[in-house]
């Protein structure tokens, strides 16, 4: 473990099993469900300083710190979570879970079905963002947390934060929504569909029953990741990083091998992804994202947010074409129509959608100010 300034240090993955069955939006009752999670900081006596941080599509519960002394890579939001950082663990008790359907400790398609002693595979029920939030609420109940000082997330994590405010409006004091949307555009759904089709078309997918086979749908999953990764960048970022540079050569090969650096980069991203993620989890989670649409469910975003008394911080990035700024502005507009307390900031960045994982300095200042304002309000009550 490297010497990291203001790090939360060594952390461990914890588990809680929800024994009772939970009724999903589809009508299916499912359980038991084990939830993997990490915590940082201390829960105060009033249990009112908890912040739920929610990961994006292919993330996990390891949001900050290091898992071992030899670990060289900290959690995915380590620069924002820790002592004196945006999510200040001297003040807050920060929780991050691996979501329902994941493959990093929480029950998902790769988990063992206790009734068959075999992996669930595609017998795992299709779930929604609302179902993932319901599971997270069960974990908070177990931890004895009745109110959240804030709920925060980027991308799909932001969708879950939106749903948390909608499902449990009395519980959430503030929400931080970063590079997110209240519903996918047809273009974004199309990219997810192509990714899923890539996996399903891989002969080794075998209807989702590949866990006991030596041959996994690695090619399909790798291609799905490559497709997805293109949407996380933007034209400027790709041009600045790669241009039209060739990969370890000074002329075209005039065949179908890799010629350009950008091709090699995408291949690498696909290859390393298959080592850490499950193909079926990718199918289920992207489908849950596609289904998310509180405007359709509640008639309008205004209706969806009407019961919330939370303060909101909405952040977007000008180069994000997957979840462009206009989608964040739609959320802000709905909240303003209700006279809710909402702050909005569009950050200039050349990083595309991935900016929420890369643009730490400016996000840190904005988030820290937002949370500190809430602290002052609590003190003045």
Residue with tokens 């899923």: 196
- Residue 360's H or E segment, with its range, is helix 360-380
The one catalytic residue in 78, 320, 325, 354 is 320
Catalytic residue among 60, 325, 353, 354: 353
Length of the chain in residues, anyone?
381
Among residues 369, 380, 304, the alpha carbon closest in space to that of 340 is found at: 304
By C-alpha distance, which of 71, 311, 324 is closest to 188? 324
Tokens of 292: 């998310």
Residue 320 annotated to the active site:
yes
Sign of CA dihedral 67, 58, 349, 260: positive
Q: What's the rounded Cα separation, in Å, for the pair 305 and 312? A: 11
Q: At what angle do helices 186-200 and 218-232 cross, to 10 degrees?
A: 160
For 94-123, letters b (16+ CB in 10 Å) and e give bbbbbbbbbbbbbbbbbbeeeeeeebbbbe
The active-site residue out of 110, 111, 150, 155 is 155
For residue 166, the surrounding DSSP H or E stretch is helix 156-167
Six-digit token string for 28: 């299916």
Q: Is 127 exposed, middle or buried (0-12, 13-18, 19+ CB in 10 A)?
A: buried
Whether 354 is catalytic: no
Q: What distance in Å separates the CA atoms of residue 39 and residue 96, rounded to the nearest whole number?
A: 6
Separation CA 237–CA 244 (nearest Å) = 13
251 is catalytic: no
Residue 329 burial (CB < 10 Å; 0-12/13-18/19+)? middle
Q: Where are the beta strands (DSSP E) in 122-279?
A: 150-154, 174-178
Active centre residues (catalytic): 155, 320, 353
């Amino acid at each position: 473990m490297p010497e990291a300034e203001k790090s939360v240090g060594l952390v461990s993955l914890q588990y809680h099993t929800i024994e009772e069955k939970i009724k999903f939006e589809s009508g299916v009752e499912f359980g038991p469900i084990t939830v993997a999670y990490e915590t940082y900081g201390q829960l105060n006596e009033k249990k009112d300083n908890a912040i739920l941080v929610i990961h994006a599509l292919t993330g996990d519960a390891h949001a900050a710190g290091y898992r071992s002394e030899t670990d060289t890579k900290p959690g995915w939001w380590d620069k924002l979570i820790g002592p004196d950082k945006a999510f200040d663990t001297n003040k807050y008790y920060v929780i991050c879970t691996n979501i329902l359907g994941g493959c990093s400790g929480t029950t998902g398609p790769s988990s063992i079905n206790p009734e068959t002693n075999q992996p669930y595979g595609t017998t795992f029920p299709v779930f929604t963002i609302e179902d993932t939030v319901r599971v997270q609420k069960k974990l908070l109940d177990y931890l004895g947390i009745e109110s959240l000082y804030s709920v925060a997330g980027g991308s799909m994590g932001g969708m879950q934060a939106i749903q948390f405010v909608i499902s449990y409006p009395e519980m959430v004091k503030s929400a931080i929504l970063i590079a997110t949307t209240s519903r996918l555009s047809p273009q974004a759904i199309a990219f997810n569909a192509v990714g899923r089709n890539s996996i399903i078309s891989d002969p080794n997918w075998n209807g989702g029953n590949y866990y006991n086979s030596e041959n996994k749908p690695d090619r399909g999953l790798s291609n799905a990741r490559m497709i997805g990764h293109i949407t996380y960048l933007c034209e400027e970022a790709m041009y600045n990083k790669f241009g039209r540079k060739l990969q370890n050569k000074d002329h075209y090969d005039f065949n179908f091998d890799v010629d350009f650096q950008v091709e090699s980069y995408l291949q690498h991203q696909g290859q390393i992804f298959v080592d850490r993620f499950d193909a079926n989890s990718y199918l289920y989670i992207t489908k849950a994202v596609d289904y998310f649409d509180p405007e359709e469910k509640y008639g309008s975003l205004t209706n969806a947010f009407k019961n919330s008394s939370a303060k909101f911080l909405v952040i977007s990035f000008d180069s994000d074409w997957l979840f462009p700024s206009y989608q964040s502005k739609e959320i802000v507009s709905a909240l303003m129509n209700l006279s809710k307390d909402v702050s909005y900031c569009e950050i200039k960045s050349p990083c595309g959608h991935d900016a929420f994982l890369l643009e730490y300095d400016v996000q840190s200042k904005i988030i820290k100010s937002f949370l500190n304002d809430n602290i002052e309000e609590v003190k003045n009550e």
